[in-house]
Chain A
Amino acid sequence: MNIVMKWIHLLGSPPYFYRFSGKLLPWLTVICVGLLVWGLYGGLVQAPADYQQSDAFRIIYVHVPAAWMSLFIYVSMAIAGAIGIIWHVKMAEIVCITSAPIGAMFTFLALVTGSLWGKPMWGTWWVWDARLTSELILLFLYFGVIALYRAIEDKRMAARAVAILALVGLVNIPIIHYSVEWWNTLHQGPTVTKFDKPSMATSMLIPLLVMAIAFKVYYFIALLLRMRTELLQRERNSKWVKELVGLS
């Protein structure tokens, strides 16, 4: 077994993971805050106004990274769920279930900022076009995952049921991404995530990418925090948790 595989196996051990993530979190927080300040200053102050939408386009610096994250977290959740089913890795099950509330939060943020953007630009808060509807279904999928996990008493069993639901819902991800190309929609087509060169000026694009990375780091922080809580709860009777809180 090489050193990388050894390390991955070590991370599967709850006490080791707890200690390691505790050391990682302060650094990640510094990186995340730094990227957020850079991205927001670049997007809200430095980037030029748009030729059509002038300053109103700046909501893109929250809306688009949040929408990307809503898809990214769903895929991570489904992959972690599949690993949990196939290899019965407890840590993967925890990644799967703790990702759901974070993903739901980003989906909600994307829907709300989109709505706030739609009113002044399109002239409406909401339309039932393919992009908006499929993104709303994604929010309901996240809610379904959270509710299903809460509904089943045996948590190992619940994690398996949740993983199946997450894998079934995976079909929605390409639909969301390609909805603006397959059908006529009010929502615009892709600006950045396509094979052509991004149809955005570089001075506007850089803060957008910085914000996207900042949101990814935020997801990682929120995930680690939630995983640590879940681990303490699940392993509350084990020796290492009792030692940690000074009970034995």
Chain B
Amino acid sequence: MKPIRRQRLLLIIAMVAAIMGSVAFALKAFNENLMYFYSVTQVANGESPDDQAFRLGGMVVEGSVKRPGEGLTVVFDLTDYQSTVTVKYTGILPDLFREGQGIISTGRLDADGVFIADEVLAKHDENYMPPEVADSLKQSDATNQTGLNR
């Protein structure tokens, strides 16, 4: 390679490396702000904000979904298999909402530590399979994978 071309090649490599490096530091600095939601354990440890709304992500605990009264209000427990928070929500739930499903919810904690949600979004994991396969996996009790507690 001619010296001038080698110089240009090295210059480009140096430029790309420098940009990657500086962006990596910037992203590391803003790491907290780039998290889309807080985990249940973070909330239990008091890491979530008290004075403003935030997002909470976790798994809906099996058998915990209750509908007190006639309306659209639903109460359920959310877990990340370490801590649990009770969530109260009034509104229409997405199709994928069910027990054992990962969800992300926007809202704030009330004085009793109950999460009052304004919005509930369903999170689906990265597994795709036919229903028969899912059933046989469930029977062998191997489906404990979620996108949330990785």
Contacts and interface: CB of A to CB of B under 8 A. Distances in A.
Counting contact residues on chain A (CB < 8 A from B), the size range is 35 or more
Contacts of A204: 128-130
A51 B133 contact: yes
Nearest to A132: B36
Interface in B33-70: 34-37, 39, 57
Interface in B91-150: 93-96, 104, 119-135, 145, 147, 150
A31 interface: no
Contacts of B72: none
A51 B95 contact: no
Contacts of B132: 48
B85 to A, nearest CB: 16
A184 B39 contact: yes
Interface in A84-143: 85-87, 120-124, 127-130
Contacts of B130: 48-51, 201, 203-204
Contacts of A49: 130-131
B121 A122 contact: yes
A60 interface: yes
A170 B16 contact: yes
Interface string A165-204: 0011011001100000011111011110000000111011
Contacts of A184: 35-37, 39, 57
Contacts of B37: 184, 186
